[in-house]
Structure 1
């Protein structure tokens, strides 16, 4: 057993002045950014202020007036022109060639800027893109070097490029190390090779290596090595016996040495040193997530109803659903996270233009046409598989005509208007069949059969939206029933996703069509799951179901989607703008299969002749429970201004029999490199549906523990052996180099 994080050879943060600086010497854009520029920061049409922006010498920080800074690590993308609502609002004042937007990771708001000239804007746009590219191309070693450099800069208060012992003590506190002063001074003296009373460059690296050295790591290395190096044969043994890797082990070991061994001499000997071993353990290949499941590996040719589909509720909202802001940014962010089903609540607006907002509330309003444009622009940026527009239609016939016009005019050929082969189908098409297509889910007059014959008339029947139907059950739901004519042009936009009212599973078995979609509130879905779980699963093997949060969740909180996936529900719609357990589990499921937004359901949920009951998984014919064992949960965490008492909670989310939580003890005053000599065991009855969530918290005796980081993934994507778990923030963004290190085993229950 061992507990170690990211230690490896390094050249301190000089990489910042080499990797970035060398790559920027001939880059005029970055040189201009180093000089800096006056630009307008725009928050609204009425808030426009001049600020001086400048790239710092570390090529990682943008400083601007008021002593604020932007880390390049936090910037996800740069948008040119009027590509935000804020910049669109001032489009009449500033031309698009002077405007650009910095888009941040997670849920942080964008930074909208207007340069003094088009040339200056282009310098910053291309310069920022270059910096983002540099960050994305960093290896683990460079990322660690950068991280060390950032801490060095924080601790070097007088900016003289060296640290005295007082600065080192401050640094240890910032890094969550509550170290005995005598021991800290001893390490400081050992690292001070120049005997100058300060640490600089490689001396600081040496200090850091001594600080993070762990004997138990060395013990594992020595178990398979001659004490100095792992031969290729030794490494093969480690990969086979500890990491339980299959395939061509010999080739893999050779590739690992070539990729991660820093010593050319060791490479020539086909060997791996301790530092190379550590670099491998900290790499993507050494992580808990199986790299073979990162890309698209599943069969994408099965009917849509055979997949879980990443889905958003109230996609237009950025905050709560009573007074929150509506924004097209909600659609952009959801689609960029791989979401494949977005919701559009449509109401009559001024000047004949339909609007989108949470009806009968004080949420702000946006134009339907702007939503459609955003979907058209971003639908296929991260995934080519189909996007479903779940439309809640509360509009008059006149404005429905405008809706139909916008859908057709803006989306063009991307909008699916007819069945794929011109013949009456017998099942839903596959994600592969529908690549690059946008589907509308809404009410429809008649079915596919009548549409093909062309005999459908305008409907005069009362229409009730999905959420209004649920309101018949949930009397406290804020929406009112809306009855109006339905326009044929809008009805014709619906092909494979016709919204229908759900009566019963028996009624569906006899009368339902494969292209009909029923929607359920979370409470109604739970009731069906409790009373007729096997029937619910069977229903979802034939057609799509959508589940969305209760109307009582006015704060836009989320339920845990796992319980709905247990019933085979495909479109489990969550509030993407709200961080927490629900979105963690959702992100975890869809982090596999290329993050394409579609995950194939287990075979026992797809086959009509199998009756799987999530309440009684042991009755499956192919019932094969497993035991998950997790040993040694060390971690590294960065949390300024306090020394944390970290503990780790491991949660299993799955069928009811598999729901479980276990915690390690907390380690007092060590948030930097604690070790837990704990072993956790979980028996998992339906491993195909199980999600595992690792949560790190700062233990507090008197109040609720503080959240530090988490990571969630499907059990089926786990690699066994000694593995890193790279922690994510509450927003789901990475927080390097914070991670756990675990030893995992998954065995069939005897």
Structure 2
């Protein structure tokens, strides 16, 4: 596909005799795919390459055999009809890029409902990123299911974790017929050894990897046209990347990223090594130090922005969409630390979770709690908050309490915890590995608790107001009999705030001061029946901690949300700026910090997959979000028919006065003169997480910040 993209994008440059070269190089690359991940002799991978028949499960009445196999490119799974065995269409291809994971056993809702007649060890599920439904499969034996699950896990792991350098180290074993294994790398062919390959293939390789903007900066510092000495590299790092580095650091970079052994031994870096460094983690625009927990975690909870989900149980809209435990898994594994549970009376005395008074499907409360126990701390060790919206009768509230205690056990925080100051809330560090419960308490019980309780201010949406009116008779009964249930311990106490228009309040100094000591939870109003979202930045500016969004809805607002919580190791807790933690006098912010931007791109994906000859006409929008005076944007012109190596050669300067609350978003669109532009890709990150002049890449390379590769994500993955 990479070669097809190159051929289509550059069809006006490729001579007729290059078509055979493309096919030749494609065959070579396909034979190397297993070597890319170093698994060419792995028994699980060999099994997947042969393929086998599996039952695909969708419902009680839909269970059909399909032939599944790993494609020769080792990055794609496809299946075909067992009877027809026809060439599969693109609609039944599954790329590992979109795989989140594999679960062996009857763990998905689909298999639990529709495969009860099959031994659990024969079942497994493929979990996709984004909102795509699981692929539930049944193997003919325990051994076959294990082969598939283990093989897929290995490919997903290597696909996600291997760096460019690690992949490069796997290539030499694929070239025993070329002599010294260290002389050639598929994606980094040294021209000194061009006699190993056809000269036209080498020409095509150069065409694929040519980057004018990289050539300019390399030639600016390189001692010769082909080599950069240690001193040259040091000068580049100090001048362009603004790094205070030593000769030893430059030697280390050469050792890590230079593919040519001769150049490496002489402490030189070739253009291929230079490009490899720029595309490495060290070259990311996103500061690698922020990929780990790097902030102080002993402050009170009120000093943190907390990743929070609204209507967590939904995978679609909130009128007739499906409810699923998978939605909790996806939220928790993405670092979400506050999930919502709308609890209602269910059949057989078991509480259920769903969006009340709608056609959304229902899931058991106990199944959600079991899921939370298993996945709460997979991505972060810091506390998870269960935000309960409780509409249950007294009897089923007792059942809820029993499930919480029996399933969560010691994970459940059941006693008050104070911070360093008795008036402060506990810190995330103090509550590591703990699950907290937040819910509205009845007025009779509110006065019986001590002071070491969190006071949670909630804005009440229209949906909750309606629920309270409809459920008033039930609530009265619970109030009268509240003692029968005992004091069900809640780690958060709430008082009903007045109904107010949020946007008139959050800018007030009193509200900001309140958020320095207490928690505020904000969530979308009930009228957002399509599960749309509001701009979270406006609420963060007011110091609100629990700003809940609909995670199931990919949109600009979720792009900003993911950008915010990308930092601090993706742990779900971000320390607020000092001026939102402590009372200060004077003006917040300082004179604008200029940020210079030069934009280029490489190998942008096609938008219209249905048109074979369609080529993207890219343009880039760069947007700054933050306090009102920092909001700004810039836009390049579009380039006709060039998604392969577009270069706009434009420089933009942004003045940012409050970088602690500023975010930069790169948006790539396919220009359309007669309609709306088509979305191609986006990448969002906090301004404070940008490395000065640094390169970066993640997923696919697309733009450069100074000399920094900007990764991008497809919208449906966000």
User: Common fold, TM-score beyond 0.5?
Assistant: yes
1:566 matched to 2:541: yes
Mark the CA change 1:725 to 1:537 in structure 2 (over 3 Å): closer, same or farther: farther
In structure 2, what is the equivalent of residue 610 of structure 1?
Answer: 584
Question: Which residue of 2 is the match for residue 482 of structure 1?
Answer: 471
Matching of residue 442 in structure 1 with residue 439 in structure 2: yes
1:197-346 to 2 correspondences below 5 Å:
203-204=200-201, 206-227=203-224, 228-246=226-244, 248-346=245-343
Which of 712-721 and 631-640 deviates more? 631-640
1:528 to 491, 505, 509: 505
Q: Supply the distance in 1 between the matched residues of 2:408 and 2:666 (Cα, whole angstroms).
A: 41
Summarize the Cα distance change of 1:664–1:492 in structure 2 as closer, same or farther, 3 Å threshold. Answer: farther
Tell me how far 1:243 sits from its aligned partner.
0.5
* Count of aligned pairs between the two proteins: 638
CA contact (8 A) 1:12 1:201 kept: no
Alpha-carbon shift at residue 92 of structure 1 (Å): 2.3
CA distance in 1, matches of 2:199, 2:121: 45
Q: Secondary structure at the match of 2:704?
A: strand
Aligned-partner SS, 1:309: strand
Q: Measure how far apart 1:644 and its partner are.
A: 1.6
Structure 1 residue 60: Cα displacement: 2.2
Task: Give the match's secondary structure for 1:428.
Answer: coil
The equivalent residue for 1:583 is 558
CA 1:478–1:417: 2 relative to 1, 3 Å: closer
Task: Give the one of 55, 63, 71 matched to 1:56.
Answer: 71
1:137 Cα deviation after fit: 3.8
What is residue 177 of structure 1 aligned with on the other side?
Answer: none
Change (3 A) 1:90 1:465: farther
1:709 pairs, out of 658, 681, 684, with 681
Q: How does 1:147-158 map to 2 (within 5 A)?
A: none
Residues 105 and 112 (structure 1 numbering): CA distance in 2 closer, same or farther, change over 3 Å? same
C-alpha distance in structure 1 between counterparts of 2:664 and 2:310, whole Å: 24
Q: Does 1:140 align with 2:164?
A: yes
Compared CA separation, residues 205 and 543, structure 1 to 2 (3 A): farther
State the 1:422 CA deviation.
Answer: 12
- 1:324-403 residue pairs with structure 2 within 5 A? 324-403=321-400
Distance in 2 (alpha carbons) for counterparts of 1:371 and 1:274: 53
Aligned to 1:85: 109
Question: Tell me, what secondary structure is at the counterpart of 1:374?
Answer: helix
Q: Does the CA contact (< 8 Å) of 1:725 and 1:741 recur in 2?
A: no
8 Å contact kept, 1:316–1:356: yes
For 1:16-95, list aligned pairs within 5 A: 17-18=31-32, 20=34, 23-66=38-81, 67=88, 68-95=92-119
Equivalence map 1:535-546=2 (5 Å): 535-546=510-521
Among 138, 145, 154, the residue aligned to 1:130: 154
Between the aligned partners of 2:680 and 2:426, the Cα distance in structure 1 is 43
* Shift in Å, 1:435: 0.5
Secondary structure, counterpart of 1:417 in structure 2: coil
- Cα distance, 1:542 vs structure 2: 0.6
The aligned counterpart of 2:462 is: 471
CA distance in 2, matches of 1:546, 1:438: 17
1:376-417 per-residue CA deviation (whole Å, 9 max, x = no partner) reads 111001101000000000111111111111111111110110
| Shift in alpha-carbon separation, 1:489–1:328, aligned structure 2, 3 A | farther
| Residue from 532, 555, 558 that aligns with 1:557 | 532
**Contact 2:458–2:520 (CA under 8 A) maintained in structure 1:** no
Residue deviations 1:403-459 (CA, integer Å, cap 9, x gap): 1111111111101100237999321100000000000010235789944699xxxxx
Give secondary structure in 2 for the equivalent of 1:436.
coil
1:668 counterpart = 2:668: no
Indicate if the aligned counterparts of 2:300 and 2:419 stay in contact, CA closer than 8 A: no
Shift of 1:129: 1.4
> CA 1:526 to 1:387, structure 2 compared with 1: closer, same or farther past 3 Å?
same
1:739 counterpart residue number = 702
Counterparts of 1:452 and 1:435 in 2: how far apart (Å)?
A: 23
Measure the CA separation in 2 of the matches of 1:479 and 1:704: 42
Task: Call closer, same or farther: CA 1:499–1:143 in 2, change over 3 Å.
Answer: farther
CA contact (8 A) 1:300 1:431 kept: yes
> Counterparts in 2 of 1:420-439, with a 5 A limit?
420=417, 425-439=422-436
Pair 1:284–1:465, CA change in 2 (3 A): closer
| Alpha-carbon offset, residue 141 of structure 1 | 6.1
- Please give the secondary structure, in 2, of the residue aligned with 1:235: helix
1:614 paired residue number: none
* Distance (whole Å) between structure 1 residues aligned to residue 594 and residue 445 of structure 2: 48
Alpha-carbon deviation of 1:524? 2.9
Distance in 2 of aligned mates of 1:436 and 1:215: 50
What corresponds to 1:100 in structure 2?
A: 124
Given the two structures, how large is their TM-score scaled by the length of structure 1?
A: 0.79
Q: TM-score, normalised by structure 2?
A: 0.83
**Which shows bigger deviation, 678-687 or 559-568?**
678-687
Partner residue, 1:547: 522
Once residues 250 and 447 of structure 1 are traced to their aligned partners in structure 2, the CA distance between those partners, rounded to angstroms, is: 67
Matches within 5 A, 1:631-710: 631-639=598-606, 640=609, 641=611, 642-710=614-682
Listed as ranges, the gaps of 5+ residues in structure 1 are: 6-10, 148-189, 455-463, 504-519, 612-618, 727-733, 746-750
Equivalent residues of 1:75, 1:132 under 8 A apart: yes
